[in-house]
Amino acid sequence: MAPPILKLDDIVLTFGGTPLLNGAALQVEPGDRISLVGRNGSGKSTLMKIAAGMVEAQSGEVFRHPNATIRYLEQAPDFAGYKTVQAYAEAGLGPGDDPYRVTYLLEHLGLTGEEDPVRLSGGEARRAALVRVMAPEPDILMLDEPTNHLDLPTIEWLEDELRKTRSALVVISHDRRFLEKVSNATVWLDRGTSRRLSRGFGHFEAWRDQVLEEEEIEQHKLGKAIEREEHWMRYGVTARRKRNMRRVGELQSMRADYRGHKGPQGSVQASVAEGRESGKLVVEAENITKTYDKPIVAPFSTRIHRGDRIGLVGPNGAGKTTLLKMLTGQLAPDSGWIKLGTNLEIATLDQKREDLDPADTLSHYLTDGRGETLLVNGEQRHVAGYMKDFLFQPEQIRTPIKNLSGGERARLMLARMLAKPSNLLILDEPTNDLDIETLDLLQEIVAGYAGTVILVSHDRDFLDRTVTSTIAPTDPDAPDGRWIEYAGGYTDMLQQRKGMADEKRRADKAEKAKTDSTAPAATKTKGKLSFKQKFALENLPKDMAKAQDEIATSERKMADPKLFAKDPSAFSKLAAETAKLRDRVAKMEEEWLELEMLREQIEG
């Protein structure tokens, strides 16, 4: 086993009251890809900042290898003092680092480097911060919510880049699919302490549930043991009492452990306040268009019925928010027409949190300044009680919103939105900053909502679990204003898109074959396949299957974190060979398809 390059052990940190961290640990070895998970407010970002040397623990062991380099991606990067994004990114390089890495990353993340940091959007700021921390290829790369404000093509590019990096990773993210793809170990921060699973995030939730179940069983056993000891205390032989003071002391210790046991943090308890039923047809759009400097929406038509759950996806700048505003009547189309259904009661969750006044208090925000109560599902609720449903403490009732974390702000907006009667939910990036447990609740709410939902999201797992259809650009690589609606979630969309691309490729080849068949006699295809063509047609499937097996074997080897730590050059060589194998399979598939079409043409 390789020695750790970073080790935190028995870390304690308190900000008054209950310790935020109380015996937490984190160990990073070369080749580690760690997902750091836990509820909002559990101390994940704080533990990461302690590891990066930005926050000092009150007690505990902190070891960083003297020669190790660490880079930390903050949720809110500081661009002060930098005139351009290029200057900001290059400031993260150390002696001997390759400046070309900055240019390479800027290009792949859609930045020129000449942007003014003050004028960056949320997504551009996140991409600039990624360039700064990734360019040096540090020994340890710490990423706090790296996918926030990124579009799907960028997230998928980032996944591939992180899988290839030599850096060890520690990642905090709410994006399940992202964590599954980049992690090979999981550290769970819960109630101030940490547990480690030596497997990726895909195995975390089943393991967490098992741990909590075993903990509940142990607590039950402790309660029964206390009952037995108390029975002995009451009815045992008093003459032996002096000789059993040790046993009395053990009983007191068991009682203290039982009373001091702190169960897992409660889950958000919420349901949506549903309004009266809307008309059956919620939105009807016919040939709507919108153009600014370029076409944002080319003629697009759709019908959204009551109970539909529609997802809007696409790269940043494709026009998702514009299309959403048009479909909800907030923005008039340049041409075509929009018709909204009857009895619509709309509730909106805005990704930019523009609805939040930093000086406002939680109570004032939730009640709109109308006293201490609010109406939820026809029932008057005291604001403190309603706040508890969303994991806020009663003492936070007068807390200014500016003091809340990103996750707490997201929960607060969710609480306000769900309290309002509605039959049409508009969710613009609803998953940003929510922890996985709160995401689970939101998924249940959206999936079980009796009304209609239109949402914009880059969270593939969330889309797959909630939406009934997906609207996406026809060409995701070069959006030109054309949109198409696919049945199902994000994965369903990809499969349908692939099927449509395959069908087009087959049609193009068939057209080419038809053209060739009408060519002059000298250039026409012979009346039968050559021996070489027949041999290739029969054996290419076997060769493809063999190559696929070799790819699977290579991927299993590369998934071993010890391989990179022991022999980085062997890891790189294996990755290059695997890439060549994939290219070879693609060429064989293309060759087989051409031969198969040729055979059909000859026989037909």
Q: Residues 456, 459, 465, 468: is their CA dihedral positive or negative?
A: positive
For residues 486 and 365, state if they share a domain: yes
Domain membership of residue 375 (yes or no) is: yes
Q: Which residues of the chain have pLDDT under 50?
A: 239-240, 242-243, 521-526
In angstroms, the CA 336 to CA 288 distance is 4
Residues 6+ apart with CB under 8 A from 532: none
For residues 464 and 563, state if they share a domain: no
In angstroms, the CA 506 to CA 501 distance is 9
Res 415: pLDDT? 85
- Cα dist from 89 to 98, 99, 100, 139, 513, whole Å: 12, 10, 11, 18, 52
HSE toward the beta carbon, residue 146, CA cutoff 13 A: 32
452-456 and 309-312 beta bridge pairing: parallel
CATH number at 563 reads: 1.10.287
Res 261: pLDDT? 54
Domain interval for residue 88: 81-132
In angstroms, the CA 432 to CA 459 distance is 9
In angstroms, the CA 205 to CA 455 distance is 26
For residues 405 and 543, state if they share a domain: no
For residues 241 and 290, state if they share a domain: no
Domain membership of residue 170 (yes or no) is: no
Which residue, 331, 305, 322, is CA-closest to 473?
322
Residues 6+ apart with CB under 8 A from 600: none
Residues 6+ apart with CB under 8 A from 254: 222, 225, 226, 229
Contact predicate 316/386, CB 8 Å: no
Domain membership of residue 11 (yes or no) is: no
Domain's final residue, options 99, 132, 165: 132
Domain membership of residue 26 (yes or no) is: no
The per-residue pLDDT for range 386-411, each reduced to its tens digit, is 888 887 888 888 888 888 877 778 88
Domain membership of residue 143 (yes or no) is: no
Res 381: pLDDT? 87
> Counting runs of H as helices and runs of E as strands, what totals does the chain give?
18, 20
Instruction: Look at phi and psi of residue 28 and say left if phi exceeds 0, alpha if psi is from -120 to 50, else beta.
Output: beta
For residues 254 and 318, state if they share a domain: no
In angstroms, the CA 528 to CA 256 distance is 88
For residues 414 and 349, state if they share a domain: yes
For residues 438 and 581, state if they share a domain: no
For residues 86 and 223, state if they share a domain: no
Res 244: pLDDT? 59
Q: What percent of the chain stands above pLDDT 90? A: 37
Residues 6+ apart with CB under 8 A from 591: 536, 540
For residues 220 and 304, state if they share a domain: no
For residues 329 and 399, state if they share a domain: yes
HSE toward the beta carbon, residue 395, CA cutoff 13 A: 1
In the chain, the number of structural domains is: 4
Domain membership of residue 266 (yes or no) is: no
Domain membership of residue 360 (yes or no) is: yes
Domain membership of residue 53 (yes or no) is: no
Q: Which two tokens stand for residue 544?
A: 């493809």
The model's pTM: 0.71
For residues 255 and 287, state if they share a domain: no
CATH number at 390 reads: 3.40.50.300
Domain's final residue, options 478, 495, 512: 495
Domain's final residue, options 452, 478, 495: 495
For residues 249 and 295, state if they share a domain: no
